Amino acid sequence: MSQSETLGYIEPVGKSAAKRVMARERSWRQILDALPFLIPGGVIFVGLILYPIVYAVVMSFYRWDGAGSDRTFIGIQNYVDLFTRDPIFGRALLNSFIWVVLSLFIPTLWGLTLALLLNRKMWGRALFRTAFYLPAVISSIAVSTIWSWMYNPFLGFINAVMKELGLNDYIQQWLGDPQVALYAVFAAYVWVATGPNMLLFLAGLQNVPQDLVEAARVDGARPLQVFRFVTIPSLRPAIIVVIALTIINSLKVFDLVYQMTFGGPAQSTQVLATWTYFQAFSMHNFGMGMAVAVVLLVITLIIIIPYLRWATRGDDK
């Protein structure tokens, strides 16, 4: 340090070289200062997040049962098989797509409606918020068990109410019918996913400038116009977060499907996250399972990164 300083002082022509030496020394110092803070968490992050992803990508090019030492490199054969010979993968892909699209509309708009309702001054407002958020704090297995019981064909709540309302045509095996099961599981997901969206929108609504709302009203704006031109623009950050989280969470849905239908009946409720698990762990096609995982990862990143870039454009000044 002192040497390079002297150099720079005596010889102004060599300043840039000296600066470079100084800069290099400084960055080494910075690294040494930061390392003790970075290493403990960094080792775990690299070892159990980054390395597994690389491992998944590599293994997706192999045929391996996941247990023996017999691994064969087969290039992109797993991917070819997935898209040409695995009808259940097609089903899982479609189901994940349906899940994302439905999630983008139902728990989001429903959460927004509840947020608008509970943003008003109202007796017991905190209690209502608690009620709508409560399903989000209990474990997925509890949600699955409760909803499987609701759907029980003989003793469950839903068929009993259908019978009472005279809707006998709708009495059915909710989780046992390949046409219906996916949507039945999705209903349980809506029950869980709405509360967090509501809270995010409620937080966003606190940023709506009240003086602007008043000004619009004084100028004769109708409530709907106030909502469209004042509330919605102020909610933009909340909307972006809700949409991003909705996409991420819908693509990784696993617990409810695994617990409520185990992917059935007749594999009709398989989604990408469950299919990678069943391929890798139940059917002992580890390579195929990893190929599904890679497809899931690529889809997630392909949607989320451009979306976040688009959504946050202009935010960094």
Partner 1 sequence: MTAVPLVETKPRSKRRPQKIALETVLFVVAIVLAIIWLIPFLFMIFTALKSNAELFSGKAYAPPIVYVWENFTRAWEIGKFQIYGVNSLLIAFVKVPLGIFLASMTAFAFSRLRFPYQRVLLLLVVMGTMIPVQVALGPVFHIILDLGLLNTYGGLLLVYIAFGFPYQVYLMYGFFRAIPFELDEAAMIDGCSRFGLYWRIILPLSLPILATLFILDFVGTWNEFSIALVILQDSRMWTIPLGLMGFSGYYSMDYPGLNAGIIITILPVVVVYIIFQRYFIAGLTAGAVKG
Q: How far apart are CA 217 and CA 47, in angstroms?
A: 57
Residue 155 binds to partner 1 (criterion: CB under 8 A): yes
Site string for partner 1, 212-231 (x = CB under 8 A): --x-----------------
17 or 50, CB closer to partner 1?
50
Site string for partner 1, 117-136 (x = CB under 8 A): xx-x-xxx-xxx-xxxxxx-
Segment lying near partner 1 (by CB under 8 A), choices 1-9, 80-88, 168-176, 299-307: 299-307
Comparing C-alpha atoms, which of 229, 211, 195 is closest to residue 115?
195
Q: How far apart are CA 149 and CA 162, in angstroms?
A: 15
Residue 66 binds to partner 1 (criterion: CB under 8 A): yes
Q: Could you say which DSSP state residue 170 is in?
A: G
Q: Which of 150, 180, 230, 243 binds partner 1 (CB under 8 A)?
A: 150
Residue 178, class by beta-carbon neighbours within 10 Å (0-12 exposed, 13-18 middle, 19+ buried)? middle
Residue 309 binds to partner 1 (criterion: CB under 8 A): no
- CB 251 to partner 1: min, Å: 6
H or E element, residue 63:
strand 62-63
6 or 30, CB closer to partner 1?
30
Residue 204 binds to partner 1 (criterion: CB under 8 A): yes
Identify whether the C-beta of residue 276 lies closer than 8 Å to the C-beta of residue 59. no
Residues 6+ apart with CB under 8 A from 215: none
47 or 90, CB closer to partner 1?
47
Residue 111 binds to partner 1 (criterion: CB under 8 A): no
